[in-house]
């Protein structure tokens, strides 16, 4: 199984199309089963950025793309849009032996992230449930 992790696309004012095309080419040459995008898909969390990013991600050839929000995705009202454009599960069973567990740390209009008490409890319970897969 091949899992590729990418991040910080910053679709919007900081987006670099030529670098993205190189990224797509190099990632697709790996023939990944899964791609995990770990935050900052957008630059300002705007609807037009989400729409553009969703279209751009279709260039990747993978069974599934799992997207996790970053602080830039939560700017403005981006935290309301993220789930609309990138619905995700916090627990992704990739096969019989591998599970991908994600924890979002982004907070609206804040640069720093945090994992709170409830998230830690959830993560602990979830990891125990999948102890043979994690």
Domain ranges of the chain: 3-129
pTM: 0.87
Residues sharing a CB contact under 8 Å with residue 64, sequence separation 6 or more, in sequence order: 33, 34, 35, 92
CATH class of the region 3-129: alpha beta
Q: How far apart are CA 119 and CA 3, in angstroms?
A: 25
Looking at residue 119, what is its pLDDT?
87
Most confident of 1-5, 68-72, 119-123: 1-5
pLDDT tens figures, 13-66 = 999 999 999 999 999 999 999 999 998 999 999 999 999 999 999 999 999 999
**Rounded CA separation 68/7 (Å):** 9
Residues 6+ away with beta carbon under 8 Å from 87: none
């Amino acid at each position: 199984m091949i899992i590729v992790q990418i991040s910080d696309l910053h679709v919007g004012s900081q987006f670099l199309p030529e670098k993205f095309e190189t990224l797509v080419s190099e990632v697709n040459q790996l023939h990944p089963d899964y791609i995990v995008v770990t935050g900052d898909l957008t630059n300002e969390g705007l609807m037009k950025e989400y729409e553009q990013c969703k279209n751009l991600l279709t260039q990747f050839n993978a069974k599934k793309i799992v997207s996790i929000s970053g602080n830039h995705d939560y700017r403005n009202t981006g935290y309301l849009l993220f789930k609309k454009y990138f619905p995700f599960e916090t627990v992704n069973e990739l096969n019989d032996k591998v599970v991908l567990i994600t924890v979002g740390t982004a907070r609206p209009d804040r640069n720093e992230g945090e994992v709170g008490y409830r998230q830690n409890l959830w993560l602990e319970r979830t990891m125990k449930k999948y102890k043979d897969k994690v």
